[in-house]
Structure 1
């Protein structure tokens, strides 16, 4: 790819983290001119502009993505995740034969370290972080987690040792525009409907994710969910050796037997890793994430003892079923990363025997909320809806006979109302089932506001108790 960079003109579309990282990598690699565009205004992009102003070969165009920027002189376009492929400038690029790559494809071409790639509809971030923790516990060094987890791959590869290991979360947005990216271990966790506003059809979404395997060769490894029919069907298309994970014994990979997470290899005695109850991550979905992580780390060469120790000590990461606080006997849980209905169903099922006040809603990605409504009817006592999908979710709940719904106009209002309604022993769960972009910059901002509001609620409750005790 270096021949498309040195002394060439390149366009980067999108100035979020990955776009900024890609522009800096291109600047260091000797591109003659890098134009970076974004729909946001110059005022909104002040921090990004300051960061990129250190590079004289980077030019910033705020306030739009005009197709006029695409000319035959361009050697390539780097497309940031989430930028709609339907933009006119991409249509023009196709007409002119200008290739479009993702930031992870660019970064891969500058990396000398082996790559472990993780994709799937849900659980990618937790699994990526868990694999990284297992490898570090097994004394691999250096190990870095990157990609859609929040640390752009284009930043991670800068100066990273060829003796290290990179574990990357790879979304369908990123995989859609790869050409050479080849993980030595590719993990596909699960598949459910999502991002129809972007991909258009479920089939296109699935095929974008399946590209994670397309450049693998014999000697590489594939980790697939034996309990997900769509994912399992990919085995016959993969050139790498398949390891399965499932909540039951498997021929080769990781499974569950007599309540033990277990490693299986043909011709060898099964190896017990840890008891199911010893896994600190809550929920059946996290049990699958743990099994997938163990299979991937094992394929990379981690010893079973290190894998078991990590499973016993690894806790939920920020914005993924993250415990925030307990106020008057009520637990507050931040699952802001639950950005589709299936993720929220998994969150609801993670607390058996406890009633839940659910805060949900956000930007509409074209999702069907009927399955979520069925699950919520069984698990939730009260649901607070907000955002662009507020009415759509309320309608789905009404169809299954669930009437305990309160529409709210803000997340702060939702938290305070939940605090008034919750009873001791219950859970207030933020799991939006939607993207955040109708009200927030990203899911992190949404989750942080939830935590800040809970913290204020705790202080207010403490002040009231202090006043009443005088």
Structure 2
């Protein structure tokens, strides 16, 4: 892809947009970076993107002849004016994922799904590193793919966390291994229907050939049903069924079976990341590494040594006999349900934020017998509280902010309990990101522990 001399409009001035802009400038393109947010939201941006023209606070007009290419960031809906106008004018529109893909020389393992993407991506990266591979772990996990793509060649591996937003603007993306962990309703506010959301996820394998692999969750009906649409070789993983080919559990052991025979990888009980959902993540990671030729014993060593990722069931402190768990990445009800199910202790739950078009009824249905008290905050506080009241939960407290939520949780927890931040919502009503929310939670807990 020759970018020299092209006029490129990058829409979205977040981390991905800035990285794409720097890359485009390095290739000789004339770049304009735009965002609907004003300059006050992007302190120091000019220093981060030297040589880039900035248009902040409003989008520039898009008309035929002005731009040769539009690159849209994943956080920007494809319905915004610059994107729709570009498509109407016949100007190519791609995302940062697609831009990086066109310069990628290394085989790619791409992971998507409603929940578990970050943990599984980090885990797959750990397996390949343990196998001695020079490995880039990037994508929706927080490192833009474009920022490191040219440093990796055919003998290396790129492991990507890929979101439905990124797949919307990646028309030629073709990973060597594509994994879909699960699909449950999420981002309906953007995709408008579950069916459209499923199609966005399925785009991860649309360009694959019979030489590629598609890893699917055998236990998830929506995901398993996609097998008939795959052009690549389908590899299932399951924690409930013994498979003739794939990764599965047998008498407490993670096993692999296929044309090369059946092999033990490691005991499921030796995993350090809690919860049945994390067992599924480990099975998926094993499948992705197995089809790329990593030995079972190497996979097992990496799985059992992995301690998890920040903001996903991360233990941040013990105060007066109460464990505090940061699951800020639980940004939808299904993810928060998995967090609840990971603990046997009574839970004081902190939940709330911006709803992404989901119902909280099934989430609240898991409260009886698990949740001692519920602390709600943010835009969805009353919706979650009402769903909890319908399940008979009486101890429901409203917090003004996260600091207040931690204080209320402390006051309502007993020794042996778990205080769990698993919001079931996005963070955007009160924070810039789930990371910022989780970092503040961690800081509040550590300060509280220091004070005694």
Pick the TM interval, shorter chain.
over 0.9
Where does residue 299 of structure 2 map in the other structure? Answer: 307
Where does residue 20 of structure 1 map in the other structure? Answer: 18
From 407, 421, 431, the counterpart of 1:430 = 421
Partners of 1:72 and 1:370 in 2: CA distance: 51
State yes or no: 1:173 paired with 2:165. Answer: yes
From 215, 220, 224, the counterpart of 2:207 = 215
Where does residue 50 of structure 1 map in the other structure? Answer: 47
- Please report how far the alpha carbon of residue 74 of structure 1 lies from its aligned counterpart in structure 2 after TM superposition: 1.4
Contact 1:175 1:211 in 2 (8 A): yes
- Please report how far the alpha carbon of residue 73 of structure 1 lies from its aligned counterpart in structure 2 after TM superposition: 3.0
Offset from partner CA, 1:49-99 (integer Å, 9 cap, x none): 21112x2xx211111224x13443312211111212221222212211112
Partners of 2:238 and 2:136 in 1: CA distance: 27
Where does residue 324 of structure 1 map in the other structure? Answer: 316
State yes or no: 1:204 paired with 2:196. Answer: yes
Which structure 1 segments of 5+ residues have no match? 462-470
Structural mapping, 1:265-414, within 5 Å: 265-266=258-259, 268=261, 270-352=262-344, 354-414=345-405
Where does residue 115 of structure 1 map in the other structure? Answer: 108
Contact 1:187 1:222 in 2 (8 A): yes
Partners of 1:451 and 1:153 in 2: CA distance: 28
Partners of 2:228 and 2:332 in 1: CA distance: 28
TM-score normalised to structure 1 length: 0.94
Partners of 1:70 and 1:309 in 2: CA distance: 55
Structure 1 stretch displaced more, 373-382 or 312-321: 373-382
Contact 2:219 2:238 in 1 (8 A): yes
State yes or no: 1:152 paired with 2:150. Answer: no
From 182, 203, 222, the counterpart of 2:174 = 182
Where does residue 465 of structure 1 map in the other structure? Answer: none
Q: Report the 3-state secondary structure (helix = DSSP H, G, I; strand = E; otherwise coil) of the residue aligned with 1:146.
A: strand
Contact 2:208 2:232 in 1 (8 A): yes
Q: Report the 3-state secondary structure (helix = DSSP H, G, I; strand = E; otherwise coil) of the residue aligned with 2:208.
A: coil
Q: Report the 3-state secondary structure (helix = DSSP H, G, I; strand = E; otherwise coil) of the residue aligned with 2:231.
A: coil
Partners of 1:159 and 1:326 in 2: CA distance: 42
Contact 2:367 2:391 in 1 (8 A): no
Partners of 1:312 and 1:139 in 2: CA distance: 17
Where does residue 126 of structure 2 map in the other structure? Answer: 133
Structural mapping, 1:79-94, within 5 Å: 79-94=72-87
Runs ≥4 in structure 1, deviation > 4 angstroms? none
- Please report how far the alpha carbon of residue 378 of structure 1 lies from its aligned counterpart in structure 2 after TM superposition: 3.3
State yes or no: 1:102 paired with 2:100. Answer: no
Contact 1:285 1:346 in 2 (8 A): yes
Partners of 1:368 and 1:198 in 2: CA distance: 15
- Please report how far the alpha carbon of residue 267 of structure 1 lies from its aligned counterpart in structure 2 after TM superposition: 6.8
Offset from partner CA, 1:141-194 (integer Å, 9 cap, x none): x11100000000010203333321000000000001111111000000000000
**C-alpha distance 70-280 of structure 1, shift in aligned 2 (>3 A):** farther
Which structure 2 segments of 5+ residues have no match? none
Where does residue 65 of structure 1 map in the other structure? Answer: 59
Where does residue 466 of structure 1 map in the other structure? Answer: none
Partners of 1:267 and 1:143 in 2: CA distance: 25
TM-score normalised to structure 2 length: 0.98
